[in-house]
């Protein structure tokens, strides 16, 4: 990930790559930019030209009317020119920044769906990805602005250069010479800063981390009651010192190139131009041309430097663009959106699958086989880290198994369109999320369309025992969840949130329910209620339920015990109990917790 583009072409290529999106998302802006550039050139020329003309006229003692005529033309040209510039700079630029942001967000968000789950397991990818998501919403416009500035400066330089060239070729030589020297010095300076930036990045991010920690409510109690706050501040101080050291040692290195830059800028360019023009003045150059040329020279130099420094900007951009390119050019293995559409789930068969996560050595799933028919209710139990959740991810085709096959209706799921497979399932994840949307939308996970949907939501909320609470809010099922955007937003306790998430399942019309630890945060009464609901009321669905607490699974049609990625026991509760194996052991351990016994230390 630390591969930085070194070759010039690749830097420029990357920048051009991102420009494509500016052209695509904001064509109007691109056209407007052309007008703005033309206006800038016209203004620059008009100013230089007018001064020299005016001085000439004054010197020659011409009729004041001619001067005023000149003046009026100048004023009109300038007023129009600045009108274009102001509208562009003050209005159009920022407006299209917002348009670009909007379109780019939508573009990237749509990409997210098509990134393989396996990629998220790679921390480097994840780093890149979240950085790109934030940065890309404006970087393209920044690149475009850099190019516009470049074209503008170059155009002005050429126009003014032509003006100066007409007056004196030597002068242009002086400017070019000092510009080249400055350029070399500035390049050294920029490189040094870039290194500083890279070197101090980790410490800077750590500072932000500490800041984040102190401002978040979830850390507040521990910070107040333990010494963790002091530890974090210590680490923060280390980071400050580290950064300070990096900066100070860089600053010493910068003195020489900075000195050279100033020398070339002030002495070579400024002083030499003045001396040279003074010499010309002595040799018969008219004072009016002298003044105008000095004016043009200063402008030319500034524009020229601005144009030349573009490369530094482009290189900085390219570093970020590489992340963006990586996402846009991403080729998924799984999330391709191709294949046959699976219409209706009938049965599922897992045939001897093996799977391990990228960058790990241990098989998370190891030669596992299993069957699920249309209305089966199966339970999966086992230790932490035994592979239960991994199995559900394979069923959803977040990953492909390394060996073996998963069949739905007798066909390998790899032949189906992945979205159509997932449409068959409704899932309660262990790490569930709620969204800053309305309650109804959080339950449906889509837009609410009409009365019918409202009924579905209400019914689902009722079955998990949340309807009364929800209807007590002013906006009922349309109450916003979280107070992030709405002061009147609803906040739910841990157990209530979990029930809200379970309601999603009941509101869906999927054929298979997957419930991964659905009752971990529920109190006994809610738990019993949900268990009953799942086991008794849901008759026309297939179900896979994962649980630590075995009381949840007693009534399942079949129980699979998974250890180290393998099925070690399977059967009904009665069969497994009779077997007196691991399941029996687990069950009795849990039972013992409910039986009074002699204390261990007595």
Partner 1 sequence: MKYCFKSIGLLIKKYPGYLFVQIFSTLIAIARSILPIYVVRDIINYYNDGKGIKEIAGYVLIVFGIIAVLAFIDYILGFFTMNIQRLFVGKTSEEFYKKLAEIDYDFHENPAFLNDYTRALEQGVDNIYQVANNSFQTIRILVQSFSLLSVFSILAKDNFMIIIFAFVIALIYLLIYIRIGFLSKKQHKLQRPFQRVSWYSNRAFSIRDGMADIKTSDIDKLLIENNEKSLDSAIKVYDKYASRITAWTYVGQIFLILLYPAIIGLLAYKNTELAVFASLTVAATNISTLISQLATSIGEVESVLPDTKVPFDVLAMHGVIEGIKGKEKVDSFTSLDIENMSFSYLGDKNQLEDISLHIKKGEHIAIVGANGAGKTTLVKLLLRLYDPKTGIVKYNGKDYKDLDLKSLRSKVGAVFQNVETYAVSIAENILLRKPETEEDYKIIDEALKFSGLVEYVNSLEDGLNTELSREFFHQGLVFSGGLNQRLAIARGYAQNYELFILDEPSSALDPIAETEVYKNMLAMGKDKTIIFISHRLTTTVNADKIYLFDDGKIIEEGTHDELMAKDGLYRKMFVSQSKKYIGDDYE
Of residues 544-583, which lie at the interface with partner 1 (CB under 8 A)? 548-551, 554
Residue closer to partner 1 (CB basis): 251 or 352 = 251
Q: Is 108 in the site for partner 1 (CB under 8 A)?
A: yes
Structure tokens at 301: 């130099």
How far apart are the C-alpha atoms of 531 and 157, rounded to whole Å? Answer: 77
Give the residue ranges of DSSP H helices in 370-487: 388-395, 418-422, 439-444, 450-463, 467-471
Query: Which span (11-19, 150-158, 289-297, 399-407) binds partner 1, by CB under 8 A?
Result: 289-297
| Binding residues among 148-187 for partner 1 as defined by CB under 8 A | none
| Binding residues among 304-333 for partner 1 as defined by CB under 8 A | none
Alpha carbon dihedral 166, 171, 175, 177, in 10-degree steps, equals: 120
Q: How far is the CB of 36 from partner 1 (least distance, A)?
A: 13
Q: Which string of x and - marks every residue 485-514 that binds partner 1 (by CB under 8 A)?
A: x-x---x-xxxx------------------
| Binding residues among 364-393 for partner 1 as defined by CB under 8 A | 382-385, 393
| Binding residues among 125-144 for partner 1 as defined by CB under 8 A | 126-127, 129-130, 133-134, 137
Residue closer to partner 1 (CB basis): 130 or 403 = 130
Q: How far is CA 289 from CA 168, 177, 208, 273, 480, in A?
A: 11, 23, 56, 14, 70
Hunting for tokens 């449906």 — which residue is that? 444
Query: Which span (22-30, 33-41, 178-186, 281-289) binds partner 1, by CB under 8 A?
Result: 281-289
Contacts of 238 (CB under 8 A, 6+ apart): 203
> Which residue from 77, 76, 96 is spatially nearest to 33, judged by alpha carbons?
96
Q: Which string of x and - marks every residue 38-77 that binds partner 1 (by CB under 8 A)?
A: ---------x--xx--xx-xxx----x--xx--x--xx--
Q: How far is the CB of 147 from partner 1 (least distance, A)?
A: 23
Structure tokens at 364: 């998370």
H/E segment holding residue 509: none
Give the residue ranges of DSSP H helices in 425-549: 439-444, 450-463, 467-471, 494-507, 524-532
Residue closer to partner 1 (CB basis): 351 or 572 = 572
Q: Is 528 in the site for partner 1 (CB under 8 A)?
A: yes
Give the residue ranges of DSSP H helices in 26-63: 27-60
Q: How far is the CB of 239 from partner 1 (least distance, A)?
A: 8
How far apart are the C-alpha atoms of 333 and 310, rounded to whole Å? Answer: 38
- The DSSP line for 467-482 is HHHHHTSTTGGGPBBS
User: Within 10 Å of residue 240's Cβ, how many Cβ atoms?
Assistant: 14
Do the Cβ atoms of 23 and 322 come closer than 8 Å? no
Q: How far is CA 198 from CA 119, 243, 346, 382, 533, in A?
A: 25, 11, 55, 45, 56
Q: How far is CA 326 from CA 111, 119, 489, in A?
A: 12, 12, 38
| Binding residues among 213-272 for partner 1 as defined by CB under 8 A | 213-215, 217-237, 239-240, 243-244, 247-248, 251, 254-255, 258-259, 262-263, 265-267, 270-271
Query: Which span (17-25, 95-103, 347-355, 357-365) binds partner 1, by CB under 8 A?
Result: 95-103
With CB under 8 A, what is the number of residues at the site for partner 1?
A: 170
Q: How far is the CB of 114 from partner 1 (least distance, A)?
A: 9
Residue closer to partner 1 (CB basis): 169 or 282 = 282
Q: Is 524 in the site for partner 1 (CB under 8 A)?
A: yes
Find the binder of partner 1 among 4, 412, 435, 580 (CB under 8 A): 435
Residue closer to partner 1 (CB basis): 15 or 81 = 81
R_g of the chain computed on alpha carbons: 35
Q: How far is the CB of 515 from partner 1 (least distance, A)?
A: 14
Residue closer to partner 1 (CB basis): 173 or 259 = 259
Find the binder of partner 1 among 207, 297, 322, 363 (CB under 8 A): 207
């Amino acid at each position: 990930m630390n591969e930085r583009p070194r070759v010039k072409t690749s830097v420029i290529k990357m920048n051009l790559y991102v420009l494509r999106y500016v052209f695509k998302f904001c064509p109007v802006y691109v056209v407007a930019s052309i007008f703005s550039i033309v206006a800038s050139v016209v203004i620059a020329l008009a100013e230089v030209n007018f001064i020299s003309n005016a001085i000439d006229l004054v010197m020659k003692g011409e009729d004041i009317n001619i001067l005023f005529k000149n003046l009026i033309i100048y004023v009109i040209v300038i007023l129009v020119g600045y009108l274009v510039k102001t509208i562009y700079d003050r209005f159009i630029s920022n407006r299209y920044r917002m348009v670009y942001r909007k379109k780019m967000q939508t573009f990237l968000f749509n990409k997210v769906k098509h990134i393989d789950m396996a990629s998220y397991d790679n921390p480097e990818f994840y780093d890149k990805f979240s950085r790109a998501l934030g940065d890309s919403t404006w970087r393209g416009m920044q690149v475009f602005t850099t190019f516009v500035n470049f074209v503008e400066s170059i155009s002005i330089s050429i126009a003014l250069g032509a003006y100066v060239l007409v007056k004196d070729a030597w002068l242009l030589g002086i400017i070019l010479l000092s510009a080249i020297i400055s350029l070399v010095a500035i390049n050294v300076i920029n490189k040094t800063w870039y290194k500083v930036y890279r070197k101090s990045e980790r410490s800077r991010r750590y500072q932000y981390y500490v800041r984040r920690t102190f401002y978040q409510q979830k850390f507040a109690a521990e910070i107040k009651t333990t010494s963790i706050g002091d530890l974090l501040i210590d680490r923060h101080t280390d980071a400050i010192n580290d950064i300070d050291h990096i900066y100070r040692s860089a600053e010493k290195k910068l003195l020489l190139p900075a000195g050279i830059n100033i020398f070339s800028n002030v002495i070579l360019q400024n002083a030499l131009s003045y001396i040279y023009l003074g010499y010309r003045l002595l040799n018969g150059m008219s004072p009016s041309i002298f003044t105008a040329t000095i004016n043009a020279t200063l402008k030319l130099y500034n524009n020229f430097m601005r144009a030349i420094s573009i490369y530094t900007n482009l290189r900085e951009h390219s570093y970020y663009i590489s992340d963006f390119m990586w996402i846009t050019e991403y080729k998924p293995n799984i999330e391709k959106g191709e294949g046959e559409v699976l219409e209706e789930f009938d049965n599922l068969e897992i045939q001897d699958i093996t799977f391990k996560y990228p960058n790990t050595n241990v098989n998370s799933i190891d030669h596992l086989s299993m069957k699920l028919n249309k209305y089966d209710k199966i339970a999966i139990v086992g230790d932490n880290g035994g592979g239960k959740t991994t199995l559900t991810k394979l069923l959803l085709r977040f990953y492909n198994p390394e060996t073996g096959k998963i069949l739905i209706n007798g066909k390998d799921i790899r032949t189906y369109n992945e979205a159509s497979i997932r449409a068959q399932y409704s899932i309660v994840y262990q790490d569930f999320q709620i969204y800053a949307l309305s309650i109804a939308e959080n339950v449906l996970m889509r837009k609410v369309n009409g009365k019918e949907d409202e009924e579905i939501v209400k019914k689902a909320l009722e079955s998990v025992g949340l309807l009364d609470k929800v209807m007590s809010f002013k906006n009922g099922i349309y109450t916003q969840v979280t107070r992030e955007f709405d002061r009147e937003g609803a906040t739910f306790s841990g157990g209530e949130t979990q029930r809200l998430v379970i309601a999603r399942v009941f509101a869906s019309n999927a054929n298979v329910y997957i419930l991964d630890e659905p009752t971990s945060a529920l109190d006994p009464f809610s738990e019993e209620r949900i268990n009953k609901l799942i086991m008794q009321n849901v008759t026309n669905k297939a179900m896979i339920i994962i649980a630590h607490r075995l009381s949840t699974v007693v009534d399942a049609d079949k129980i699979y015990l998974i250890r180290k990625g393998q099925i070690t026991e399977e059967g009904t509760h009665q069969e497994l109990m009779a077997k007196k194996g691991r399941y029996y052991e687990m069950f009795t351990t849990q039972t013992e917790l409910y039986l009074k016994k002699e204390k261990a230390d007595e």
